[in-house]
């Protein structure tokens, strides 16, 4: 049984990776937030500690998931952001190269400037803020220095359930649970959702190959924030209870001041051409996610 070391596994994506890979691989899952009994402690920013922990486990793959993903936090804590989102990636590359194993690095649709309607795997990134730049610099380092690597770019992430979903879907459901009757939703942001379990399933197929490189890995279907919010209300049977009021991004300029691209719509061109795309339609993925995590009896 192959062994996978998954660093930064305590978040919404780590939850999906653990459950997707645990039956077929021997896993060591680490984080600084020990919110599951299957996690052990490791700080990826500490090269010596990270190196020792991975070397002792002697994995066949190193998955590097850890990062700060709160854009406003990143704008306010610039040095900490680059240490966590960029330098820790350099740590991982050095360790993977020493073991001569592939590294998986998670990147983001946010590395593009949003001026195009869509972006395929070969379009040139142009990050706008410190979160995006720190993630892109990690991607660049992997491409330049890793012997064997998979870089998978996610879009608007959906997953993790109530405890771990701090993204769009999680925030909307939290508002519902607080009794909200109106959703203020921006109408000028466009993207492609990414269900964490579909993402993990795609990675599982990808690592069976030697097709190293960069891959856009998002659900099928181009959408926007308003359409996603409407679909969520439809799934939850709340369309007659909650009104959506469309606003421009400037409506949230105090709370969400970090620069964000207008379009984060990715196309899985390379995955599709290689026949490795396991990403489903975003509406079906959203329904599956909500059914599993939010409509349980």
Per residue in 72-111, pLDDT (tens digit) is 999 999 999 999 999 999 999 999 999 999 999 999 999 9
94 domain-assigned: yes
Which CATH number fits the domain that encloses residue 99?
A: 3.40.50.720
Per residue in 148-169, pLDDT (tens digit) is 999 999 999 999 999 999 999 9
Count of CB atoms situated within 10 Å of the CB of 1 = 9
| Alpha carbon distance 173, 166 (integer Å) | 10
Count of CB atoms situated within 10 Å of the CB of 207 = 20
**pTM greater than 0.75:** yes
| Alpha carbon distance 193, 183 (integer Å) | 19
60 domain-assigned: yes
Q: Give CA 293 to chain center in angstroms.
A: 18
259 domain-assigned: no
| Alpha carbon distance 179, 158 (integer Å) | 22
244 domain-assigned: no
Cα angle 34, 39, 42 (rounded to 5 degrees) comes to: 75
Q: What is the pLDDT averaged over residues 194-203? A: 96
Q: Which domain holds residue 73?
A: 3-162+193-222+265-280
| Alpha carbon distance 256, 266 (integer Å) | 22
Percent of the chain predicted with pLDDT > 90? 97
Q: Which residue has the tokens 């983001």?
A: 108
pLDDT at residue 297 in the model:
47
SS (H, E, C) 26-47: EEEEEECCCCCCCEEECCCCCH
Counted domains in the chain: 1
Count of CB atoms situated within 10 Å of the CB of 214 = 18
Does pLDDT of 178 surpass 60?
Answer: yes
210 domain-assigned: yes
């Amino acid at each position: 049984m192959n062994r996978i070391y998954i660093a930064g596994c305590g978040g919404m994506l780590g939850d999906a990776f653990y459950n997707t890979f645990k039956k077929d691989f021997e896993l060591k899952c680490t984080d600084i937030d020990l919110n599951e009994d299957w996690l052990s402690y490791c700080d990826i920013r500490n090269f010596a500690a990270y190196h020792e922990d991975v070397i002792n486990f002697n994995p066949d793959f190193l998955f590097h998931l850890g990062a700060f993903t709160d854009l406003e936090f990143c704008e306010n804590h610039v040095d900490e952001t680059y240490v966590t989102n960029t330098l820790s990636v350099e740590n991982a590359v050095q360790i993977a190269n020493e073991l001569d194993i592939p590294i998986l690095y998670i990147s983001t649709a946010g590395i593009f400037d949003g001026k195009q309607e869509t972006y395929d795997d070969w379009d040139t990134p142009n990050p706008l803020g410190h979160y995006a730049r720190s993630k892109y610099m990690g991607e660049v380092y992997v491409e330049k220095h890793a012997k064997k690597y998979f870089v998978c770019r996610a879009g608007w992430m959906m997953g993790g359930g109530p405890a771990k979903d701090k993204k769009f879907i999680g925030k909307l459901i939290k508002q519902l649970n607080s009794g909200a009757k109106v959703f203020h939703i921006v109408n000028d942001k466009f993207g492609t959702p990414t269900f964490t379990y579909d993402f993990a399933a795609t990675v599982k197929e990808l690592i069976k190959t030697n097709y190293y490189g960069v891959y856009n890995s998002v659900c099928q279907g181009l959408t926007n924030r308003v359409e996603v919010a409407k679909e969520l209300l439809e799934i939850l049977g709340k369309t007659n209870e909650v009104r959506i009021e469309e606003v421009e991004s400037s409506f949230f300029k105090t709370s969400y001041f970090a620069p964000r691209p207008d379009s984060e719509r990715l196309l899985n061109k390379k995955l599709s051409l290689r026949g490795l795309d396991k990403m489903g339609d975003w509406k079906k993925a959203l329904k599956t996610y909500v059914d599993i995590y939010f409509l349980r009896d």
